[in-house]
Structure 1
Amino acid sequence: MEANPAEPHGAAVVADGFGLKGPRGWAFRDVGFRAEPGSLVAIEGPSGSGRTCLLLALTGRMKPHEGHAEVAGLRLPRKMAAVRRISALGPVPGVSDLDPAFTVAEHLRERALLQRRYDGSVRALFRPPAERAAASKARIERALEAAGLDLEALPKAGRTSVRDLERLEALRLSIALALVGRPRLLALDDADLKLSGADRAEAWALLRSIADAGTTVLAVCSEAPEDALRISTTPRAAEAVSPAEEDTTDAAGPDDTEADGTEADTAEEDAVEEETPAGEDTNEEGTADALAETRRA
């Protein structure tokens, strides 16, 4: 289906009282924010505070247990599959890792084949092989350009193994793979992990350029840049802080979220709501259990 050119490419993301619980406690709870299409959203918080779980829940890969969220108007948890179709994961340890034995070219070729097989139209499957190959090549080149990855600058060009890439190069490759499908929402974990100050600045400049081009970006990080919409997963502080509002306003009020009273509209939603003792906080055990369940799935 062709996108409507009058609509923004990026996906608006809204959360209200959003929470996810593992067998031993809450991974995150009471998260609320609104991000416009093409926003750069940074998810902050200490290790074990549910940052990765929030990222996966907002991309339809983990099922929340309270509150609700919407991605491009698709309500979670009812539309998880639809949200997965318009979102893509960059690097998320244990979920979308690069294979160190693969070369860069092998990763790109595999992603293009999967994209063509599972995300293309039926008519596209019957195009002449040369036409399909040209389309895949163009798609890869656009993704590499957007991710700022120059294959010729690598030690062995496309034949460079993933294990031989620098951290920033591996980050760019993961992002390029995610962008092959031209998602409306790009999500990545540990965006600034193990990067020098200069590489960290370069990584944020890359993510900012992707957002400026129209794709909404969600990035887990240890320290967010000042111009990002900052989301915290720490208990009692899971509020969005925009660059303009950081020093002048509190978290978004009721007008920033839906109030249609449909949190339990379906039996599916009823099944995931659970009673929890008042004051129970986010904890590392809940995060670890929730991620373990995702990896087993």
Structure 2
Amino acid sequence: MSRFKHYRVRPGAPFRLADIDPTATPFLPEAEHHQREALELLAAELDRWQNLLHAEGRRKLLLVLQGMDTSGKDGTIRWVFSRTSPLGVRVAAFKAPTEEERARDFLWRCHQVVPRAGEIVVWNRSHYEDVLVPVVEGWLDKAELKRRYAQINDFERLLTETGTVIVKCLLHIDKDEQRQRLQARIDDPGKHWKFSLGDLEVRRKWDAYQLAYERAIRATSTAHAPWTVVPANDKTHRNLMIARLLIKVLRDMKISPAPANPAYAGLKVE
């Protein structure tokens, strides 16, 4: 699994988002039929690990997915978790804060949807939106941004110290790939629901968002919750890489099977 090292952001180390090639495909088998087969096998294996985590009923797994518009957060969830039971996997999507949420601290809405014991939770966007959009729009000064980075690190430390393993992935695409994906949504009436004119306004601020992501990742990639940058121009590669990463994390957790119930010994069903 040394292939992950290049894409894992080491705490305190220099980091430039431009150093990660979004077109790279180190986890992609060459033959297309092997790609589909690999994803099916990984999805089934992830289901087995999710069952063990659920049966153990003690620890939790939080997958944080961030990325520019069209980077594939929905597609990742759809394919990577295609075989897992909805009883043990939950998805929370973060949109612009509501009036109720704005009346509280920026982490309030996040803490309400953290994983329960034995559960995998996927955040489609996350608390990181609060150190991206306000930064690009100029709503935060440097002092407040620094405080938010520290509060995020403390929040994630709280989660890890109470049994949650955090996996944070930036789905990294380039500007031309985004252009093609946005155009595909415009050209296909069946995909118009995925598009809004606001997407074009955000796209005009591409460079500012890339810089905001780079700074946020550098400030919040910690030993207890490191960031992994996922080359995501190729959708299949994106899915395979994240599936392999999750399985590696679950294996490393050394989950113990649920103990046998002695009351069931010798029990016969008539």
Band of TM-score, shorter chain? 0.3 to 0.5
Higher strand share: 1
Counting helix residues as a fraction of each chain, which structure ranks higher? 2
Q: TM-score, normalised by structure 1?
A: 0.33
